[in-house]
Structure 1
């Protein structure tokens, strides 16, 4: 869940010392690190269009800020060299406050005081680390301490991504009196980010747990992670990968949004937020669907200021912004753009507007700015999904042989007729369908990856339209209504929306899963009667894409997507502690009374 590697990558920009001397003669006389930082700040300011910085800064390192229980948390303060007091930007991180030094320097040069803190039990801060548990109380104490300092004018804003985004939600939910927040790639509802319809995000959160436990973490801690992916029971997957991690065991032992998760959630729910928020998300980030629910909930139920101020930027990105798979849509970062310039520019514009009152046009900005794949352009909308979108239903059809991309599965606007046979496959939990791209925490392999290898498997049903005659703009939530049976008392059904190019590349757009025991909701678990046909609603996820002429729309149906999600052992017993597995025969129906369908949000133009 960290945006690892971006700071070292940005420092690669600090090359060609001779050029530094010519461009920045004063900086060239100082230390090499100072030269690097000077180039970095000026480069970011120039390329992001955030405006030229106007001031120097000073740093007060390693201040011990007291919490209500006496624990002191290590904090670095960056202050502009101009006369204060200043609005303050707050960052709380488990990844070492030193890693946020470029961000601290960047905002201090623009006239903000910046306070960066190691969270409890991490790096130089006292206490014991348990992810998320103490962030609300500690965040409130931190914000109140900052407000009392002579260099702060009382206006407080939050900045940061991933875990640093959650610490902002925690401060806002704890009534810390923040003026604004800007959480990126994180949700206010942890359960909805870690679980999807009862299925655990194993790839992302086992990796994070292995590399982020303890005081300092261990970036090599996931070296044996593949052993964890293939092991049962789920609660022992961390042990199989080499470590026994208390919080990971707790996460997998609480598959429903019970009191454990509520204790780390925002009091009153995300709709109770009173702080204006600028949200940043990515179509290939595992938090995007929950972030959109954050946005929608605040726009419906937040305070008047929160409703009016809430805006969201949704890029083509994954959790680490860019991956090579984005090249399938012709998307590449500009030179040196390890962090998207849109993110830097818009974040600074938001903090200028919300903390300094700068009249920079932010109030006229549309609530939603979304990147449309295929067009590769930004599009502004007043709401999400766009009010002018309508839902188009594509029904599943086949002659009973839809398995693999060579099968006879099709998608059409016509409803199925009587006599269409079901499609069948066998799901073996010991041989799950491998994850290929999509939204998960491996920043190297996430994104719009080609699915052709996956579509060769006999346990993947494939349904495709004919080639499109006209482009089709899809913007909003994608859903599948699936009618299926299983020989198991509990199992999973997965769905992927795929864009098939004329050259046969099959590129994933979004994905989803439903755990059969939760088909009636997370609060009403109920096992199946083997062989009985049930209706399942699969939330496949949100997207914005222009499917071009000659492309085909494709839907993949299976029962696993591992390790993106944990594998259901099919026994019907508690999954976290289940050691045994059962093979299950799955049937998918497309008849007049059981018309399985893909439902797309289409914007007519």
Structure 2
């Protein structure tokens, strides 16, 4: 047989051979062919000191050499974060916020924390540091240390300098890396970090439980993977929580009391040692500050407005000469810094504020610490975006404003003058059967267009209710700039034995605005917060309130840089429910509101006091102090 004939027979046999019908169609892992890709993407199972391996993805442009590493440790799926689109372009497979870095020589690393997605080990939400609450020898601080150590030794393309960043939970892991930092960790940019889940971040605010976050617990702990929300369909959250009778009833209805994370919350309704031992501002405040750190948060962060300013307050005294610590507040929702920042709700800003920060501030800051020979960067100690003035402003401290008291006055007005009346109060009836919604009903928290921008939503739906008392100024004669965290000083009484108090500081837009009609008459929240009455004397040991007795409630509103233009008015709203974002207060003292029965919920008459002995007011940090406030308010 000639070679020609043999070759012809071989080709004919190959042509007629068929793939077996029952050969499984899902076989070994499919590797996408990316011959024209401009990047290298590596997946690593990285061993920690206890042998547990964490799934880690390393991405860089082809040809990278001596590149700094930007690390994020996440619960939100490292694999998906590094393969967002089936593309051959590095800027397409990564989040938009990475573009400025990976196109300039940075190596981007994402890692699943232990127990989540493709990482081994056990997952504990915001895993505490090893010690009284964690009997193991590993935590997010040790895992960050071991990860950085591995990267320095095993990524040949790096220059050995690493920064850590991330928003929300990854903001928390960024801060945890600072507890015992690896020598190669040269900078940190924690964004909207989860710092204290009881005082003011995700789970509680001043003792009031954020029940809409229960979806988070199923998404995080029902399985190792992402997104497994409570199976309540797409019904109205307001009606669904109300029909359950109590937050405990809702938890039982959907079986959430089988989740260990939810059980822990129910067992620790007060600010006990369990919460105090996890508070990162206290933990970091007790340690030296050695790593240059830029804290970032949005003025309208609907999830973690507390953390960044709290850490700033704890660490700022350690930063002699303003060399290591800075605070940035932008006009963003939660994690909005990482997206297009040209608008939020009906508000529009001067350009893409997210890009402006990442390109003009964050990257030069990181370059100066991670790239040898990079230009020095004069890092602003405090950088905030002046809302309504549409510009970034640099200051040496936060707050930059001087405190001025804005008093609740008669005829439901506001004044810079302390009240003269010996006895004066305004009353309303709070009925748990008809709580004040935080946005107009129906409420779908899973709708991103509702949840993301809700803090800039119009508050007129609340100001017209009889169970909301509203105080409003005359139109301002001159602009008034608030820079810092306003403090509510509310003297209030209840006919019950427990109560919630919600205080809102609001910018009221003029009734006519032909250029932007969607803003006409807008009641825009500058800062809004809640306080659970049982904790007025002690966060750790709640007590019943004395019916009819006015107590003083002092609590901070979120940090802002907000300019109220001339012609706008200032408004303060006070109410006793904020539903279904927060669980209803029964208004009858019970040991644990999680276990309250439907019969415990009762109406109460609430009093807001404004007299010489009980002068309810908002302490606002004003640029220019009292003189600027009097020029604006004309009193």
TM range (shorter): 0.7 to 0.9
Which position in structure 2 is the counterpart of 1:394?
406
CA distance in 1 between partners of 2:49 and 2:409 (Å): 62
Alpha-carbon separation, structure 1, partners of 2:180 and 2:465:
49
What residue number does 2:114 align with? 120
CA distance, structure 2, for counterparts of residue 284 and residue 470 of structure 1:
25
The answer on 1:516 being equivalent to 2:497 is: no
The whole-number CA distance in structure 1 between the counterparts of 2:553 and 2:99 is: 51
Q: Do structure 1's residue 527 and structure 2's residue 533 form an aligned pair?
A: no
Give 1:270 deviation, angstroms: 2.4
Tell me, in whole angstroms, the C-alpha distance in 2 between the residues paired with 1:311 and 1:385.
Answer: 13
Larger radius of gyration: 2
1:148 alignment counterpart = 153
- Scaled by the length of structure 1, the TM-score of the pair is 0.81
**2:433 matched to 1:430?**
yes
Backbone CA RMSD of aligned residues: 3.0
Q: In structure 2, how many angstroms separate the alpha carbons of the residues matched to 1:114 and 1:174?
A: 22
Say if 1:509 and 1:323 are closer, same or farther in 2 by CA, change over 3 A.
farther
Q: Contact 1:73–1:125 at 8 Å: present in 2 too?
A: yes
**1:348 aligns to 2:363 (yes or no):** yes
Distance 2:576 2:342 in 1: 27
Deviations 1:51-93 (Å, cap 9, x if unpaired)?
xxxxx542212x1111233221111122454464543221111
Q: Residue 541 of structure 1: SS of its match in structure 2?
A: coil
**Counterparts of 1:223 and 1:34 in 2: how far apart (Å)?**
46
- Match in the other structure for 2:586: 569
Partner of 2:419: 416
Cα offset, 1:454, TM superposition: 1.1
| Residue 87 (structure 2) pairs with residue 67 (structure 1) | no
Distance in 2 between the 1:67 and 1:473 partners?
A: 49
The yes-or-no answer on 1:211 pairing with 2:214 is: no
Structure 1 residues 114 and 210: CA distance shift in structure 2, 3 A: same
CA contact (8 A) 2:270 2:542 kept: no
State how far apart, in whole Å, the 1-side matches of 2:412 and 2:405 are.
16
**Which residues of 2 match residues 432-451 of structure 1 at below 5 A?**
432-436=435-439, 443-451=451-459
Once residues 536 and 579 of structure 2 are traced to their aligned partners in structure 1, the CA distance between those partners, rounded to angstroms, is 20
CA shift digits 1:538-588 (9 cap, x unpaired): 323322111111111100001111233332122211112212312211111
Q: Which residue of 2 aligns with 1:98?
A: 79
Instruction: Tell me the equivalent position of 2:622.
Output: 602
Report how far residue 497 of structure 1 moved.
0.5
8 Å contact 2:485–2:560 — kept in the other structure? yes
Identify the residue that residue 170 of structure 1 maps to in structure 2.
Answer: 176
- C-alpha distance in 1, partners of 2:573/2:409? 13
Query: How far apart, CA to CA, are the structure 1 residues paired with 2:542 and 2:215?
Result: 28
Distance 1:328 1:481 in 2: 30
Residues 492-535 of structure 1, C-alpha deviation per residue, up to 9 Å, x if partnerless? Answer: 11100011111132111111122112112424533211111222
User: What are the residue-to-residue correspondences of 1:257-272 with 2, within 5 Å?
Assistant: 257-266=271-280, 269-271=283-285, 272=287
Question: Match for residue 391 of structure 2?
Answer: 377
Q: Is the 8 A contact 2:192 2:335 kept in 1?
A: no
Change in 2 beyond 3 A, CA 1:483/1:471: same
Corresponding residue for residue 344 of structure 2: 326
Residue 241 of structure 1: how far off its partner (Å): 5.0
Asked if the contact 1:451–1:506 (Cα under 8 Å) also holds between the matched residues in 2, the reply is yes
Q: CA deviation at 1:341?
A: 4.2
1:309 aligns with 2:324: yes
User: What SS does the aligned partner of 1:592 have?
Assistant: coil
Counterpart residue number, 1:547: 564
**Matched position secondary structure for 1:595:** coil
Q: Is the 8 A contact 1:427 1:559 kept in 2?
A: yes
How far apart are residue 138 of structure 1 and its match?
A: 2.5
Change (3 A) 1:507 1:222: farther
* Secondary structure of 2:306's aligned partner: helix
For 1:432 and 1:468, how far apart are their aligned partners in 2?
Answer: 32
| Residues 138 and 85 of structure 1, relative CA distance in 2, 3 Å threshold | same
Equivalent position SS for 2:459: coil
**1:277 matches 2:293:** yes
Partner of 1:76: 57
Shift of 1:325: 8.0
Q: Secondary structure at the residue paired with 2:405?
A: strand
- Asked if 1:588 corresponds to 2:608, the answer is yes
Q: Give the CA deviation at 1:207.
A: 3.3
Structure 2: distance between partners of 1:107 and 1:216: 28
